[in-house]
Structure 1
Amino acid sequence: MSEHTEHRHVALVTGANKGIGRGVAEQLAALGMTVLVGARDVRRGEEAAASLRASGGDVHAIALDVTDLAVVRAAARHVEERFGRLDVLVNNAGITGSGQVSPQDAHDQVPSTVDLGMVREVFETNVFGVIAVTNAVLPLLRRSPAARIVNVSSHAASLALTSDPDGPFTALLPSAAYSPSKSALNALTVHYANELREDGILVNAVAPGFVDTDSNNHTGFLTVAQGAAVVVRLATLGADGPTAGFFAEDGPVPW
């Protein structure tokens, strides 16, 4: 274990070679953390880490496909061998299931005609992948004096917002894959938070907002830095911070 990691907090961000994940990695590194950029594509992860190191951050790439349990466990072993513990986990890796189309505008997500295989694929990454990664690194998070878990969700996960006939989602197509996967992620967030509450591990879900990324074909109006900011805030909560919550930049989001 290198000497500098004794004093630096160590953070793992999944799906961090681009988009919001990369923005989160950059901001956590700027706060002085050692940041592990999880990426399915090792080359892209290395490129992202090298770019963030060039800005002065202590950033390292780690091979991480959240849908491959052997890879997830290997990543956890790597973190343990190199750093001995983990202070922050940001479960950011996610897929829309609809290619370069925003899931709320995707005809292939409409419940009555959805392809069940696509639904399974979305849940495999957005839900089961979060369980796999969280459980693999939980022993390392327990070694931290102030561990934080942040699950990157979406306003589309909110049943209150999506069920309101006069609400902001009425103009969008119903979704049987992406939106329900994020609702399930929110439920998981609450149950992990309840289990880990007595250990002082704070677990929250975050809706970054409509951020300009590949996942919505760059139709979002928020910058990556803006979307990442609320994630970073929840990843750096003090001991008196909330747990089992769902937050956006402007405060709590209704379930």
Structure 2
Amino acid sequence: MKAPRNVPDALLESLKSLGLTRYEALVYIGLLRVAGATATEVHEISGVPRASVYPVLDRLVQKELVSVSHTTPKRFDAVPPDQGVENLMRRIESDAQSARTALDALYREKRPEGRGDREQIWTLYGEENIRTRLADMFRSAERSVEVLAAWDLLRESVLPLLEAVPDSIPVEIVTEHWEGEQPSRFRLHILSLAALHGTHFPTENLLPYERSGVFLVDDARALLWMEGADGQPSALYSESAGLVLFVRRHITSVTEWAKTAGQ
């Protein structure tokens, strides 16, 4: 058997990023260079210590990178690179999904311990950050989603995010305008929000509706989206009872006044 040829460090690092140890990467690369090999030959072509070869081969078989014959002695062969990398990526995606599910469960179990009566209100800057938080709110909805927003904001930034709401969750939308077909899964209320500014409604409590909105999920999480004077949006987000109650009352009050103004 030929002595092991040098293996580029960059290749080893790439394989390590796909979940292989250094020994596993060396053995897999070594087997790619030959048409099958015994454990002793694997030791010689890879440079991996003899005592480590069998455990490494077992792990590579489990990771679907190496196949093994039923002959005596056993011979090992590398899965072609295209299939091997695909197998590794599938394992990574599966592990990532499992981790995401477990972490999300832990995140949702957390309690505001040690905060006393202090309510947490977070400020978000930039449309991407706000959209990311909204998408998470919609995706995790369990009972209800309520939206009071200008049509421009809905059309340009929010409607695609609402596709993440589970099918069984009711979605209420209050806006002043709608273009195109109205999705059957939404309960739409087309109201003249601008007309409120001509009534005795306390307009100082209104959002500037040109590109703004309020969002309430499960009566437990609230987000207020506001357009800045410089055109850059910001938002307030909270799971605190205070802001949630404010948004609850705001949606109810605006809806009632808009209905009255439209009569």
TM-score category, normalised to shorter length: under 0.3
Give 1 or 2 for the bigger CA radius of gyration.
2
Q: What TM-score do you get using the length of structure 1 for normalisation?
A: 0.23
Higher relative contact order (CA 8 A, sep 6+): 1
Question: TM-score of the superposition, structure 2-length normalised?
Answer: 0.23
